[in-house]
């Protein structure tokens, strides 16, 4: 596919500087772009590279320095570039239907234009929307409901009766709806509490690979519209994650905790159970959140404190040996002063 710089500018809602007639056939980074390729500058740190890139044209923030290159100005060049990547590189594959080697049980409702690959398993009473793609090894347990335009990558499994909305993508190996971790101590051992709830994944959610999202004990673990979850994330039973949250890799959220909307959680964070994280909260990587957090806070540390405090406090930890030494020296000096003063007084 080739498009003129002018066509691309119109598509993006930007404006051309230089030759709008040149044809663009692909996209690349500032360093790698060459003939017929468009590149972009999102991070001002790399502004110097605009002068030296071999790209045919550059996407720049409105009013950026073109260094004499052909350019498109756009208020959000990063978003604009992402939209071009979609335009140039993500043509949807033709639907394949139910392929030989796919296992589809009785009583399944299947929408239009689906692709069910060999080795995928669709249990009894499942509902699949239109344009659903189930890659090899996907397992849908009985009663699962999947909306339209959903892609489940290889070896994803979705347990009994869980519900997945529209335009959801789940990457390879992720498990939706395994049993929540609940046991009642019966004196010496543990009695399993049946987990009879489900998981509900709302529209426009994306979940990375090898995550685990547990089903609720009685009702629903819920991931709301637009939330994005990275790889190897744990979501325990009865958790509710709000809309447009971003949860980075290897984070774990304990049972019954509720996240508001637009919450951002860094990598390897642990969030305790039965707490509430307010809207727009940001939690720094590797933090431990032991209690509820009010909206609009930026927090870090184990346990978390306001991020600025954490920056100061954590920077002082390496100086503890020095502080200890100063403290001991001061104790001696004060004792010396006390002795001296006592001597004077008794004189």
Annotated catalytic residues are 237
Should residue 37 be labelled a site residue for a copy of itself when binding is judged by CB under 8 A?
no
Tokens of 264: 């951002």
Should residue 324 be labelled a site residue for a copy of itself when binding is judged by CB under 8 A?
yes
Residue of 69, 74, 159, 163 that binds a copy of itself (CB under 8 A) = 159
Should residue 194 be labelled a site residue for a copy of itself when binding is judged by CB under 8 A?
yes
Q: Compare residues 18 and 167 and give the one whose CB is closer to a copy of itself.
A: 167
Residue 67 beta carbon to a copy of itself: minimum distance, rounded to whole angstroms: 22
Identify residues 41-80 at the interface with a copy of itself (CB under 8 A). 76, 78-79
Residue in 212, 107, 196, 117 with CA at minimum distance from that of residue 160: 196
Q: Compare residues 68 and 306 and give the one whose CB is closer to a copy of itself.
A: 306
Tokens of 144: 């699962």
Secondary structure (3-state) at 201: strand
- How many residues bind a copy of itself, per CB under 8 A? 111
Residue of 249, 256, 257, 258 that binds a copy of itself (CB under 8 A) = 249
Interatomic CA distance for residues 166 and 244, integer angstroms: 15
Residue in 101, 167, 90, 111 with CA at minimum distance from that of residue 138: 101
Should residue 272 be labelled a site residue for a copy of itself when binding is judged by CB under 8 A?
yes
Should residue 297 be labelled a site residue for a copy of itself when binding is judged by CB under 8 A?
no
Residue of 44, 52, 90, 347 that binds a copy of itself (CB under 8 A) = 90
Contact 248, 234 (CB under 8 A): no
Interatomic CA distance for residues 158 and 140, integer angstroms: 5
Q: Compare residues 68 and 194 and give the one whose CB is closer to a copy of itself.
A: 194
The torsion angles phi and psi of 162, rounded to 5 degrees, stand at -70, 155
Candidates 3-11, 51-59, 62-70, 223-231; binding stretch for a copy of itself (CB under 8 A): 223-231
Q: Compare residues 228 and 276 and give the one whose CB is closer to a copy of itself.
A: 228
Residue of 70, 209, 221, 256 that binds a copy of itself (CB under 8 A) = 209
Interatomic CA distance for residues 293 and 109, integer angstroms: 43
Interatomic CA distance for residues 77 and 74, integer angstroms: 5
Interatomic CA distance for residues 221 and 233, integer angstroms: 14
């Amino acid at each position: 596919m080739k498009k003129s710089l002018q066509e691309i500018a119109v598509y993006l809602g930007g404006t051309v500087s230089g030759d709008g007639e040149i044809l663009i056939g692909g996209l690349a980074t500032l360093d790698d772009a060459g003939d017929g390729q468009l590149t972009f500058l999102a991070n001002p740190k790399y502004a110097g590279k605009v002068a030296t890139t071999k790209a045919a044209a550059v996407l720049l923030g409105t009013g950026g320095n073109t260094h004499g290159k052909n350019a498109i100005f756009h208020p959000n060049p990063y978003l604009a570039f992402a939209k071009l990547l979609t335009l140039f590189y993500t043509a949807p594959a033709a639907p394949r239907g139910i392929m030989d080697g796919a296992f589809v049980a009785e009583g399944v409702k299947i929408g239009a234009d689906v692709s069910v690959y060999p080795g995928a398993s669709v249990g009894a009473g499942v509902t699949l929307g239109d344009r659903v793609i189930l890659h090899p090894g996907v397992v849908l347990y009985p009663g699962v409901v999947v909306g339209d335009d959903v892609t489940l990558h290889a070896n994803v499994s979705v347990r009994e009766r869980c519900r997945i909305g529209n335009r959801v993508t789940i990457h390879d190996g992720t498990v939706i709806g395994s049993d929540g971790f609940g046991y009642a101590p019966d004196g010496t051992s543990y009695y399993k509490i049946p987990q009879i709830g489900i998981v509900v994944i709302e529209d426009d959610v994306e979940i990375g690979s090898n995550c685990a999202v547990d089903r609720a004990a009685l009702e629903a673990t819920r991931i709301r519209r637009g939330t994005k979850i990275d790889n190897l994330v744990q979501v325990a039973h009865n958790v509710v994650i709000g809309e447009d949250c971003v949860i980075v890799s290897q984070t774990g959220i304990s049972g019954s905790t509720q996240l508001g909307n637009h919450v951002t959680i860094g990598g390897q964070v642990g969030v305790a159970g039965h707490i509430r994280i307010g809207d727009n909260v940001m939690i720094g990587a590797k933090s431990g959140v032991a209690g509820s957090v009010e909206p609009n806070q930026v927090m870090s540390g184990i346990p978390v404190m306001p991020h600025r405090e954490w920056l100061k406090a954590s920077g002082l930890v390496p100086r503890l040996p020095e502080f200890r030494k100063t403290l001991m020296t001061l104790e001696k000096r004060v004792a010396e002063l006390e002795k001296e003063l006592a001597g004077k007084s008794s004189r």
